[in-house]
Structure 1
Amino acid sequence: MNLLELVCSTAKDTIEVTNALVMDVAQKKVALYDKSGEQHYDIISAFIKSMRGSDPNAAVYWLARMIEGGEDVKFIARRMLILASEDIGNANPNALLLANATFDAVNKIGHPESRIILSQCAVYLATSPKSNASYMAINEAMAAVNKFGDLPVPLHIRNAPTKLMKNLDYGKGYKYSHSYDNNFSEQEYLPETLSGTAFYDPGNNARENELRNYLKKLWKEKYGY
């Protein structure tokens, strides 16, 4: 299907698909990019690492290599969507929004116009501030789950839909944050074993430095922010 799209994209008006035409396009396009071989993985790796490394020039070059080779545009957009969260995260939350919009757009707009949308997104991601803090946070939290198992939920933040649960002190002492100044009430949300554990360590960028200062103001020295 990708090869057929490439063949059709060579026509300015109507086109007769012949063996000769298909072979000509395949030799010029597909031979440059083996989607089932090692080169496929090398080029997508180069593309991702170029954006992670903040090089928009290299990013659009490797993007062009994939487009010229007939790579599935949804595959490209999907990888950018992952990068937007893994490598940019809260340093620039808009990156995830644009990457998601790009994924939706390329599903609506096929080859060759989708190249424009992919290029815009790739350049934006490459030139964005970077942070992998959220990615590292979930990895650390999952490691804690695997290490400590099913730690009990503190009683005061348990759900208490029945009288029996209330009698067992489920929900007792819970402070509704919105009833306090600045919509914040200091209380424990982690299991006792993990109290004071900071899984999220904000990155060193303008947006997350603001988040760090905000968390430090709220939690004082509890999490070491």
Structure 2
Amino acid sequence: ADPMAVILAAAAVQITNFVGLPECRLTLAQAVTYLACCPKSNAATVAIDAATADVKENRTIPVPRHLRDCHYPGAAALGHIGYQYAHNFPEGYVPQVYLGVEKNYYIPTNRGREAEFGRYLEKLAAVRRQANTHPQDT
């Protein structure tokens, strides 16, 4: 539930490799304390495992046409048009279908930063509902 934890852990490993023992003891102690105290979640693991299972079980669908390569002659004739650049929209988000089905792999917990992520994802879902964007629109 704290995405910075992995960055801190990696930094502690780097510092340990750079300065060695015994100098790195404080760095390791601080990293262990931080990791022990930060909120825990396996939401990312559950999400990647579910996505991997869908691929292994052939529960995939074709890439939506608007996400396919359009940088060659004839792409438009194949329907490879309509991609909308998220950076051109308010808040860097466009209510466009990317997966092709209504499925959420990542379901954040209510702990740590994931609670904030959950609120943001709900806000984006409201934008999608307001735009009436559904997978069958692809």
| TM bin (shorter chain) | 0.7 to 0.9
Quote the offset at 1:151 in angstroms. Answer: 3.1
1:174 matches 2:95: no
Q: Could you tell me the TM-score, scaled by structure 1's length? A: 0.52
Q: Give matches, 1:124-203, under 5 Å.
A: 124-148=34-58, 151-170=61-80, 172-190=81-99, 192=100, 195-203=101-109
Q: Deviations over 1:144-203 (max 9, x none)?
A: 111125632111011222112232122x1222222223322211101x3xx111100101
State the partner residue of 2:124: 218
The residue type paired with residue 104 of structure 1 is: Q
Secondary structure in 1 aligned to 2:11? helix
Aligned-partner SS, 1:163: coil
What secondary structure sits across from 1:174 in the alignment? coil
Distance 1:184 1:150 in 2: 24
**Residue 206 (structure 1) shift:** 3.9
**TM-score relative to the length of structure 2:** 0.81
Cα RMSD for the two superposed structures: 1.9
Q: Distance in 2 between matches of 1:123 and 1:129?
A: 12
Larger radius of gyration between Structure 1 and Structure 2: 1
Q: Distance between the aligned counterparts of 1:218 and 1:107, measured in 2?
A: 42
Closer, same or farther in 2 for the Cα pair 1:211/1:150, shift >3 Å?
closer
State the Cα deviation string for residues 71-119 of structure 1 (Å, max 9, x = none). xxxxxxxxxxxxxxxxxxxx22221221111111111122222232222
> Aligned equivalents of 2:104 and 2:90: distance in 1?
24
Residue identity matched to 2:33: V
Q: 1:108-141 deviations in whole A, cap 9, x for unaligned? A: 1222222322221111100111111111111111
Give the alignment of 1:33-72 within 5 angstroms: none
**Cα distance in structure 1, aligned partners of 2:11 and 2:34:** 13
- The partner residue of 1:113 within 23, 29, 35 is 23
In 1, the alpha carbon distance for the partners of 2:20 and 2:36 equals: 23
**Identical-residue share of aligned pairs (%):** 38
The structure that is helix-richer by fraction is 1
